[in-house]
């Protein structure tokens, strides 16, 4: 028996309405903010991600699904979207075509992580990227749109955390300060953090080890070392959020340890999903396009995990889904009427009514039972004396009311069903 690969999940018909609802809300919010959808291939050249995400990150160093294909090219299943969007942006000269590009996506992602609740190997993200403007309005817009999707899904137990990483020069100054602070505490740091001390010192803030956290709680923070312009930009972002009353918390420990990240960084967390509480993360990356070979172009984006959002929705019981039903079930009393039943069903389907009929020559009773199970609003019964008189019976299922129609007046039946 071959099973789905560990860390991957089937989305079954019984769950699909939830997914469609999330996707519909994403599309609607993105449309309201005038973001255009982009779809990129599931796999890319490995170098795109190692350069576009950073060799020092967990994603690139430990989690990518990378393989050499039959033409000896190293390819990788996309672990996130920003690098792919930026590649497409450069490849198709979108910056020259449109100036500001506001893009969104909904896509599967792949990371070989240890599977647990809220952590999968194939998972799905929606997200947005705005390329071509350094205006803090767009930093705020990333938070506004992602937060809007979550509140439209009825989520309440949310926390928005925001920080600024400034520009690389102020960050370099700050790193020296942090290094000095940590140098006499080096021996108390965990092994991982000791490694990060050399490779990526900011990421020690991400450590989950209690001892590390204690030390980092007392550490000087980057926010206090920002240059004036970065401070001003950060204030603009927070005042834009204040203006539309999005609650947020400044978290000076929210860092991203890569050089091309600049200014805003943010996360939206849920108090309803246990330890994997980050639903969404984002920030500004003014140096990434250049790093990937394009012209200097400021960019900002976010990515949100759909599985985790759905878990939060489930735990908060926040999703109201419409009851599943079909418009009409065509019941035939006699198997000789199969062709007629099929013709009628196709006519209904062409008229945009969701229609079902029996495919297994079951008894009338079984067909009626099936109509009930499918929550059919109506049944059309064909056969018997009525049929010989050129008539059919339309039954409204809730009240049990029946009406006779002429067999050749299907448009009247369609109108009757649609008028309710």
Interface ranges with ligand AMP (CB under 6 A): 80, 111, 113, 118-120, 123, 125, 278-281, 303-305, 307-308
Residue 58 beta carbon to ligand AMP: minimum distance, rounded to whole angstroms = 9
Could you give the CA distance from residue 260 to residue 322 in angstroms, rounded to a whole number?
A: 44
Which CB atom, from 310 or from 357, has the smaller least distance to ligand AMP?
310
Which helix (H) or strand (E) segment holds residue 363: the answer is none
| Residues forming a β-bridge with 264 | 164
Which CB atom, from 205 or from 387, has the smaller least distance to ligand AMP?
205
Neighbours of 268 (CB within 10 A): 25
Residue 304 beta carbon to ligand AMP: minimum distance, rounded to whole angstroms = 6
Whose CA is closest to 52, among 12, 98, 84? 84
Select the residue whose beta carbon is closest to ligand AMP and give its number: 305
Coil, strand or helix at 201: helix
Which CB atom, from 132 or from 305, has the smaller least distance to ligand AMP?
305
Residue 196 beta carbon to ligand AMP: minimum distance, rounded to whole angstroms = 17
Which CB atom, from 142 or from 303, has the smaller least distance to ligand AMP?
303
The span from the first CA to the last CA of the chain, in angstroms, equals 48
Could you give the CA distance from residue 274 to residue 256 in angstroms, rounded to a whole number?
A: 23
Could you give the CA distance from residue 329 to residue 248 in angstroms, rounded to a whole number?
A: 51
Determine phi and psi for 95, rounding to 5 degrees. -65, -40
Cα 204 from chain centre: 28
Residue 79 beta carbon to ligand AMP: minimum distance, rounded to whole angstroms = 8
Residue 80 beta carbon to ligand AMP: minimum distance, rounded to whole angstroms = 5
Cβ contacts of 80 within 8 Å, gap of 6 or more: 49, 53, 59, 109, 125, 303
Could you give the CA distance from residue 405 to residue 420 in angstroms, rounded to a whole number?
A: 17
Which CB atom, from 286 or from 367, has the smaller least distance to ligand AMP?
286
Which CB atom, from 280 or from 353, has the smaller least distance to ligand AMP?
280
Which CB atom, from 110 or from 387, has the smaller least distance to ligand AMP?
110
Residue 62 beta carbon to ligand AMP: minimum distance, rounded to whole angstroms = 12
Which CB atom, from 43 or from 378, has the smaller least distance to ligand AMP?
43
Residue 123 beta carbon to ligand AMP: minimum distance, rounded to whole angstroms = 3
Radius of gyration of the chain (CA): 28
Could you give the CA distance from residue 391 to residue 382 in angstroms, rounded to a whole number?
A: 8
Coil, strand or helix at 412: helix
Residue 187 beta carbon to ligand AMP: minimum distance, rounded to whole angstroms = 31
């Amino acid at each position: 028996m071959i099973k789905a690969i560990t860390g991957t999940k089937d989305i079954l018909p019984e769950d699909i309405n939830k997914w469609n609802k999330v996707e519909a809300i994403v599309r609607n919010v993105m449309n309201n903010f005038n973001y255009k959808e982009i779809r990129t291939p599931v796999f890319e050249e490995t170098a795109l991600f190692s350069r576009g995400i950073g060799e020092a990150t967990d994603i690139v160093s430990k989690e990518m699904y990378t393989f050499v294909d039959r033409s000896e090219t190293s390819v990788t299943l996309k672990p996130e979207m920003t690098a792919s969007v930026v590649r497409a942006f450069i490849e198709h000269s979108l910056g020259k075509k449109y100036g500001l590009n506001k893009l969104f996506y909904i896509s599967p992602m792949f990371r070989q992580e240890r599977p647990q609740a809220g952590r999968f190997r194939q998972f799905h993200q929606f997200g947005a990227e705005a390329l071509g403007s350094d205006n803090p309005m767009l930093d705020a817009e990333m938070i506004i749109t992602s937060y809007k999707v979550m509140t439209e899904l009825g989520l309440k137990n949310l926390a928005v955390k925001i920080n600024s990483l400034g520009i690389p020069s102020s960050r370099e100054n700050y790193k020296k300060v942090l290094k000095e602070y940590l140098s006499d505490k080096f021996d108390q740091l965990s092994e991982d953090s000791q490694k990060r001390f050399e490779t990526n010192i900011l990421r020690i803030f991400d450590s989950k080890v209690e001892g590390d956290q204690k030390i980092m709680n007392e550490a000087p923070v980057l926010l206090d070392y920002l240059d004036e312009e970065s401070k001003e930009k950060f204030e603009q972002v927070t005042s834009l959020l204040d203006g539309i009353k999005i609650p947020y918390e400044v978290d000076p420990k929210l860092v991203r340890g890569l050089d091309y990240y600049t200014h805003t960084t943010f996360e939206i967390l849920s108090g309803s999903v246990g330890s994997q509480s980050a639903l969404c993360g984002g920030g500004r990356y003014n140096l990434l396009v250049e790093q990937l070979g394009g012209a200097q172009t400021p960019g900002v984006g976010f990515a949100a995990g759909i599985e985790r959002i759905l878990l939060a929705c489930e735990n908060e019981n926040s999703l109201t889904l419409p009851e599943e039903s079909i418009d009409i079930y065509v019941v035939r009393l006699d198997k000789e009427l199969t062709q007629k039943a099929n013709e009628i069903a196709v006519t209904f389907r062409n008229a945009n009514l969701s229609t079902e009929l029996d495919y297994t020559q079951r008894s009338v009773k079984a067909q009626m039972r099936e109509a009930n199970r499918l929550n059919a609003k109506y049944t059309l019964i064909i056969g018997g004396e009525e049929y010989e008189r050129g008539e059919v019976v339309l039954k409204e299922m809730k009240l049990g009311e029946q009406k006779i129609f002429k067999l050749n007046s299907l448009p009247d039946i369609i109108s009757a069903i649609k008028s309710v």
